Structure 1
C-alpha cells in the first residue's frame, strides 16, 4: 500500500497527484486519533464515527486548500473535526427540539433515553461543557487539552499569538469548570487541569 514510513508531507503530495493508496495511509495513520477527538467532543460513539468520516471527507474535498503544520495533516484534521462536531451538535439540538415539539402518546418511547453508564454521563458532561465554548476556544482547548499540543504550538496552528492563546485558554477552562461543576459536581473538572481521575 505504499511506504508506511513516509512523512505526511510526502504522502499528501502523492495524494494530490492522485495516489489513492497514499491517502489511505494517511487515513490509517490518523483515524484513531481523529476518532478519539470526535468522541470526546460528541460523547457518543456513533456520532464520533460520523464526525470522523466527515472530517476525512472534508480533507479530500478541500485538498487544494489544506495547510500542513510542521509537515503534518493532523492539526488540520483536528481543527476540522472540532468544527464538524460543533455543527453536528447544533443539528442534533435542532432535531431534539423538533421531536420534543411533536405531540406524544403514552405508547411512544422518548426519542432519547436516559444515560445509564457513569462513563457516558461523564462524557456527556464534558461534551456539554465543551458546547459552552465559542468555535475558536473549542479548537484551542481541543488541541491543548485533548491532543496535548503546547499552547504555543496550538497558537501557531490557529494563527494567534501565544499570549492571546494563553489568555483564551485560561478563560475557556474557567467556563468549562463552571459548566461541569454545575452539571456533575467537582470531580470531572480535574481532567481539565491534566490530572487523571
Structure 2
C-alpha cells in the first residue's frame, strides 16, 4: 500500500494521469468532427445510396462510396480526395441525366456543390485530429515507464481483490441472512415431528 501511495503521488505518475486525461478528453473532438461531417453528407445520402446500387466503380471506389454512405469520417483523407470528388461528380451527372431520381433536382445539386466545397475543410479537420491524437498517444506512451506499468498492474490487482472480497462478503452475508430466515421454519418442523412421537408439546428454544 505504501509503495502504491508513493508512486501515485510522484510527479511521474501525475504527468502520466494528466496526459491520459488530455487524450481521453481530446477523443471527444472526434465526435464533434464526425457529427459535422455526417450532417453534411446526410443531405445527399439518398442520391449517394442510389448511385451505390447503380454504379460500375472499381472495388476501391466502391468501398469509398460505401463508407461515404455509412461513415464518411473514415474515408475523408488526402489520399481519397480525388475519388470522393469523382463519386460526387458522377452522382451530379446521374441526377442531371435523370438516372438518379431525387425530389428536388436543383436543391440536391446545390447540396452536392456545398459538400464538394466542404471536402478540403473536412479532410483538414480529420487529418489534424489524427495527427494530434497520435502525438498525445506518443506522449502518453513515453510516460509509461516499467515502473508505471507495474503500478497499474498492481492497482488493478488490488482493485480486483477488493471487489472480490466485497462480493464474497455480500454473498456470505446473504447466506447468513437466508439461514437466519429459515431457522424458525426448521424449528417449527422439528416441533411438529416431535409431536408425532408424543402427545407432549415440545418447544425448541433458540439462543
**TM > 0.5 fold call:** no
Question: What TM-score do you get using the length of structure 1 for normalisation?
Answer: 0.30
Larger Rg: 2
Whichever structure has more helix as a proportion of its residues is 2
Question: What TM-score do you get using the length of structure 2 for normalisation?
Answer: 0.29
Flag the structure with more relative contact order, 1 or 2, with Cα contacts below 8 A and sequence separation at least 6: 2
